């Protein structure tokens, strides 16, 4: 099985979700199905069908998370040094068109969350940044046309 790079924080978040699904969500949906069955005719019982759909989603997500967690290879960014961009780097960029500064951390595929400024190692921006250094400029294809960023700072923590 191919290992998937991930930060310890990202792995912990996925393990917490898995634990919550198994210990809280799964038992709750089983109770909901049992209650819905008590209401009689299952063919027209919307509560029963909704609970079964939820159960199906939970079981699918549990399988997915177990697979991700079992193939995770935790990489500790604090052990990495230098200013060359690698997995786990915190990168400060400036958009050369708008002069707006942006910060991202490059993380594994399954822990990316743009709202938290965590970008996947496989995203176009991360692919353009990997191997670059402070002062370098990268061009990234975007829906409205290419965006150009200058790398201001690279840290590992």
| Tens digit of each residue's pLDDT, the chain (157 residues) | 688 899 999 999 999 999 999 999 999 999 999 988 887 777 778 888 899 999 999 999 999 999 999 999 999 988 888 889 999 999 999 999 999 999 999 999 999 999 999 999 999 999 999 999 999 999 999 888 899 999 999 999 8
Contact 92, 105 (CB under 8 A): no
Single out the residue of 134, 131, 110, 133 nearest to residue 122, CA to CA: 110
Q: Number of helices (H) and strands (E) in the chain: give both, helices first.
A: 4, 7
> What local confidence, expressed as pLDDT, does residue 108 receive?
95
What are the tens digits of pLDDT across the range 17-50? Answer: 999 999 999 999 999 999 888 877 777 788 888 9
Question: Whole-angstrom Cα distance, residue 46 to residue 111?
Answer: 34
Question: How far from 30 is each of 18, 26, 43, 58, 153, CA to CA, in Å?
Answer: 17, 6, 18, 11, 50
Question: Which stretches within 1-129 are classed as H helix?
Answer: 8-20, 26-37, 46-70, 124-129
Residue 155 host element (H or E): strand 147-155
> pTM here?
0.82
Contact 10, 73 (CB under 8 A): no
> What local confidence, expressed as pLDDT, does residue 46 receive?
85
> What local confidence, expressed as pLDDT, does residue 117 receive?
96
3-state SS, residue 5: strand
């Amino acid at each position: 099985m191919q290992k998937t790079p991930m930060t310890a924080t990202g792995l912990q978040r996925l393990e917490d979700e898995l634990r919550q699904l198994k210990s809280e969500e799964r038992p709750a949906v089983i109770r909901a199905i049992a209650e819905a069955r008590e209401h009689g005719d299952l063919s027209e019982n919307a509560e029963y069908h909704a609970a079964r759909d939820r159960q199906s989603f939970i079981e699918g997500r549990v399988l997915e998370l177990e697979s991700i967690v079992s193939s995770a290879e935790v990489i500790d960014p604090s052990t990495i040094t230098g200013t060359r961009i690698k997995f786990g780097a915190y990168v400060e960029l400036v958009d050369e068109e708008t002069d707006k500064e942006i910060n991202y951390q490059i993380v594994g595929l399954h822990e990316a969350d743009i709202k938290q400024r965590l970008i996947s190692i496989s995203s176009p921006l991360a692919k353009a940044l990997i191997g670059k250094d402070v002062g370098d400029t990268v061009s990234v294809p975007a829906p409205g046309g290419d965006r150009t960023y200058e790398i201001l700072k690279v840290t590992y923590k």
